[in-house]
Amino acid sequence: MYFFDKHPNFKAHTLFEDDCGQAATYETWYAHADELGGIMPSRSLAAIVCRNTIGSALSYLCCLQRRVVPLLIDEAMDDELKQGLLAAYRPEFIFCPCGTEGGNPLYSLYDYDVYRHNNTSPALYEDLGLLLTTSGSTGSPKLVRLSYDNIQSNAASIAQYLELTAADRPVSSLPMHYTFGLSVINSHVLCGAAECLTTATVFDAAFWQFCKEKRVTSIAGVPFTYECLRRLKFTKMELPDLTLMIQAGGKLSKKLQKEFGQYAAGTGKRFVVMYGQTEATARMSYLPPADCLRKIGSIGVAIPGGSFRILDDDHAELTEPNAIGELCYDGPNVSLGYAHGADDLQLGDERHGRLLTGDLAYCDEDGFYYISGRKKRFVKIMGKRVNMDEVEQLFKNAFADRDFACTGGDDDLLVFTTAPETDCSDLEDFLVAKAGLHPSCFTIRSVAAIPKNSSGKTQYTDLPGLKD
């Protein structure tokens, strides 16, 4: 049995509660899934435009239960980019917030409507269960293909190492289309727990009032979330029911890990640092709370059912402590592979349980792992993975008479351009609109020329030293 199948012992349990006074039980979910089964045939493809509401979350769970494959899309994605994604994959159905599509819906559940988007779905691999985007809101057509076993195994592993029970009540502090936020739903549904859903953010007083009213027991965040919590003086708040804080989505600063680790240790709470990628469904490692302050900067150890190795450039394993190489992960949560268009949805398992993460890492003498850098050209901005090549292409497609190149680090994207400095504010507005990035997380710098080699390839290592 998968966590998204009907569980007779959970029928009366609360599944979701929101900040509008609404609630849904597991039995409510099962009933909606049965109704949708008469509308959407098994092995069809459905897009879900996601927000943190009951209708959105139920849409996802109903699809899984009916063996309809959901493609999760960020509600904030630029409409042109969203339409390009829908055109590339041709889902037969689309779930979206009420009132955002014209015509008569096939079905409604809470604040969501279901429409027919195309006449037929593309051919789907028999074990394909879920499709997730890889690069935040940049609109890349590349998707991660996840199987039912991928989703199940990762949910079970997370529930095991976090010691989740039906009594837990997490708050939706992360968007559900994001693999980290989605994993919170999956792992708690597996236990028969309830999630508290709100569209408010940690900056809103309503968010914290909601946490108190619903007696929230856990909160999840990316590094930017914890930076915000520090500024909000989170450690001074009265949240007596909160017992668990989890972090993933990028490398947390040592200062913040120490601060929240000390707070947790002093208040009887647990603070768990984790590491993951969409390509591994969500999580690959966790740092046990007891080791949080002893292993500052570590991503911890592999999750239950998984294992790590450090590989050199020839993919030979490096076994000596502190040797730096590419981090390789093996586990049942490793995705099937990528899709770049509808035809790829019929592909089978191309990874066979092994993922080369693209991250450089080392393992210390005690068996704890540390990330030291990245081989691939992506950064994490406020927890969302942003492919720098895709950002460059967005600019080049829109401003063909100018050149662009991107570099930088997490929450610090640098965009170099041959556009005059007077145009940089327009370029900033473009990036905010198209990619949904906050201006504080990137810098656009005007330069005379982008450095190239004799083959015309951008010399990224020369970019940081360029002067305006």
DSSP 129-146: EEEEESSTTS--S-EEEE
For residue 135, pLDDT over 80 is answered with no
pLDDT for residue 102: 78
Q: Are 201 and 207 in contact (CB under 8 A)?
A: yes
pTM of the model: 0.87
pLDDT band at 400 (very low <50, low <70, confident <90, very high): confident
Could you give the C-alpha distances from 254 to 9, 227, 258, 283, 388, in angstroms and in order? Answer: 43, 12, 6, 20, 25
Looking at residues 394-405, what average pLDDT do you find?
87
- The strand pairing partners of 405, in sequence order, are 416
Cβ pair 183, 383 in contact under 8 A = no
Nearest to 42 by CA among 115, 121, 142: 121
pLDDT in tens, 319-349: 999 999 999 999 999 999 999 999 999 999 9
* CA distances (Å), origin 241, targets 227, 236, 257, 261, 302: 22, 14, 22, 18, 29
Q: Between 401 and 363, name the one with better pLDDT.
A: 363
**pLDDT for 232 beyond 90:** yes
Residue, of 35 and 101, whose pLDDT is higher: 35
Give backbone dihedrals phi and psi of 206, rounded to 5 degrees, phi first.
-65, -30
pLDDT at residue 172, rounded to an integer: 96
Question: What's the mean pLDDT when you consider all of the chain?
Answer: 93
Reported as a pLDDT band with limits 50, 70 and 90, residue 138 is low
Residue 103 has pLDDT above 90, yes or no: no
Percent of the chain with pLDDT over 90: 76
Write the secondary structure of 75-117 as one string of H (helix), E (strand) and C (coil): CCCCHHHHHHHHHHHCCCEEEEECCCCCCCCCEEECCEEEEEC
* 452 beta partners: 458
User: What are 327's two structure tokens?
Assistant: 């981090």
Average pLDDT of the segment spanning 135-163: 89
Instruction: Give the HSE-up count for residue 86: Cα atoms under 13 Å, Cβ half-sphere.
Output: 20
Q: What is the pLDDT of residue 381?
A: 85
Look-up: residue for tokens 């969501």? 112
Residue ranges of domains in the chain, CATH in brackets: 8-373 (3.40.50.12780), 379-465 (3.30.300.30)
Q: Is 5 exposed, middle or buried (0-12, 13-18, 19+ CB in 10 A)?
A: exposed
For residues 158 and 337, the answer to whether their CB atoms sit within 8 Å is no
pLDDT category of residue 456 using cuts at 50, 70 and 90: low
pLDDT confidence of residue 328: 98
Between CA 368 and CA 341 the distance in angstroms is 38
105-122 pLDDT, tens digit each: 999 999 999 999 988 999
Residue-level pLDDT at 408: 86
Lookup result for tokens 């929240």: 260
Average pLDDT over residues 154-179: 97
Q: What is the pLDDT of residue 189?
A: 98
Measured between alpha carbons, how far is residue 338 from residues 43, 145, 344, 397 in Å?
Answer: 19, 6, 8, 24
Going by C-alpha positions, the residue among 366, 371, 251 that lies closest to residue 310 is 371
Query: What three-state secondary structure class fits 147?
Result: strand
pLDDT interval class at 422 (50, 70, 90): confident
CA distance 203 to 420: 36
